[in-house]
């Protein structure tokens, strides 16, 4: 909401900042907008405020900052950033309260048997909390859930807070998430096996994780891509989200660790499974398959 208001004020001044930066509320965008509010109008000076991680060059940013700085629009931008700062202060208060609550829960938990594994993710999520949540969650749960691909520290915090109940089995858990087939049977005939619609927030988080993991070179990514090519992306997202949910459940319930075997391992297992099925079908018709030279 606030980003759209700032974007609208910049558009009125004919400043095309949103075309050269990914997020106007990022480091580059905030520095430039605050400088405009303070009275800076020179595009060359404003372009020098770009962050070193910004993909657009300084010349590109400079060309996007040639506009008409009307006082009423600068005032609107100032009001928007003031409101943005207020919301950021409230968010920091929430993060401090979350950190205090986790510290109390961690103090009541026993120490894990092994030290905290090395952090797998390199990039910090833009919506993550303003403190290192991994050690506390590791102390509370006894396992590092971020080792599961698609699940970061912030998502672990959301899932642990949403899935507080102790489910008897992984099937019960995925059924609660509405990630399992909901078979409608009448007279012994399956009428529908589609998953039910749900407003469960944990399910929404897992679906987004499935979409993200589908772009990785991992076993889960290969699983998603193969299903997407065969039955479509929508069903592939559901199936991958269910697989991630089962890994999350096994780690929480039994403390099972996760080690990614890699996309190549998954493809090899898939090939072996297909060959085994072909041999079985051939045997049903009294035939025998024989590998050709150069194949294994």
pLDDT for 281-295, tens place per residue? 999 988 888 888 665
pLDDT at 296 over 60: no
User: Higher-confidence residue: 119 or 243?
Assistant: 243
Lowest-confidence region among 121-125, 140-144, 277-281: 121-125
pLDDT digits (tens, 9 = 90+) for 180-198: 887 777 777 766 777 888 8
pLDDT at 127 over 90: no
In 3D space, the residue among 27, 28, 24, 31 whose CA is nearest the CA of residue 7 turns out to be 24
Structure tokens at 244: 């991630």
Buried b (16+ CB within 10 A) or exposed e, 179-218: bbeeeeeeeeeeeeeebeeeeeebbebbbebbebbbebeb
Q: DSSP letters of 197-216? A: P---HHHHHHHHHHHHHTTS
Q: Dmax of the chain from CA atoms?
A: 86
pLDDT at 89 over 90: yes
Report phi then psi at 135, rounded to 5: -60, -40
pLDDT score of 94: 93
User: Higher-confidence residue: 190 or 93?
Assistant: 93
pLDDT digits (tens, 9 = 90+) for 230-244: 999 999 999 999 999
| Other Cβ atoms closer than 10 A to 108 | 8
pLDDT score of 257: 79
On the 0-12 / 13-18 / 19+ scale of CB atoms within 10 A, 2 is middle
Radius of gyration of the chain (CA): 26
For residue 223, name the pLDDT band (cuts at 50, 70, 90): very high
Where do the structural domains in the chain lie, given as residue ranges? 2-93, 109-260
What percentage of the chain exceeds 70 in pLDDT?
94
In 3D space, the residue among 144, 133, 145, 146 whose CA is nearest the CA of residue 106 turns out to be 133
Q: Give pTM, 2 decimals.
A: 0.77
Q: Strand (E) positions, the chain? A: 184-186, 189-192
């Amino acid at each position: 909401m606030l980003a759209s208001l700032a974007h609208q004020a910049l558009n009125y001044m004919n400043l095309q900042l949103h075309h050269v930066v990914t997020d106007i509320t990022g480091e580059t965008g905030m520095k430039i907008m605050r400088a405009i509010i303070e009275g800076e109008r020179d595009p060359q000076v404003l372009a020098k405020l770009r962050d070193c991680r910004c993909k657009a060059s300084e010349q590109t940013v400079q060309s996007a900052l040639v506009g008409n700085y009307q006082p009423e629009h600068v005032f609107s931008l100032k009001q928007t950033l003031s409101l943005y700062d207020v919301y950021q202060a409230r968010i920091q208060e929430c993060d401090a309260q979350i950190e205090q609550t986790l510290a109390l829960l961690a103090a009541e938990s026993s120490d894990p048997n092994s030290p905290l594994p090395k952090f797998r993710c390199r990039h910090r999520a833009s919506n993550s909390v303003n403190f290192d949540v991994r050690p506390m969650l590791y102390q509370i749960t006894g396992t590092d859930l971020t080792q599961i691909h698609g699940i970061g520290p912030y998502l672990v915090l959301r899932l642990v807070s949403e899935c507080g109940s102790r489910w008897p089995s992984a099937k019960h858990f995925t059924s609660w998430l509405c990630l399992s087939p909901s078979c409608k049977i009448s007279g012994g005939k399956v009428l529908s096996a589609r998953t039910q619609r749900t407003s469960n927030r944990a399910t929404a988080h897992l679906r987004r994780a499935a979409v993200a993991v589908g772009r990785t070179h991992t076993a889960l990514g290969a699983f998603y891509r193969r299903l997407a090519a065969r039955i479509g992306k929508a069903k592939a997202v559901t199936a991958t989200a269910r697989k991630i949910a089962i890994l999350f459940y096994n780690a929480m319930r039994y403390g099972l660790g996760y080690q990614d075997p890699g996309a190549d391992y998954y493809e090899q297992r898939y090939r072996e499974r297909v060959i085994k099925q072909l041999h079985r079908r051939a045997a049903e018709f009294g035939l025998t398959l024989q590998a050709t030279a150069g194949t294994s």
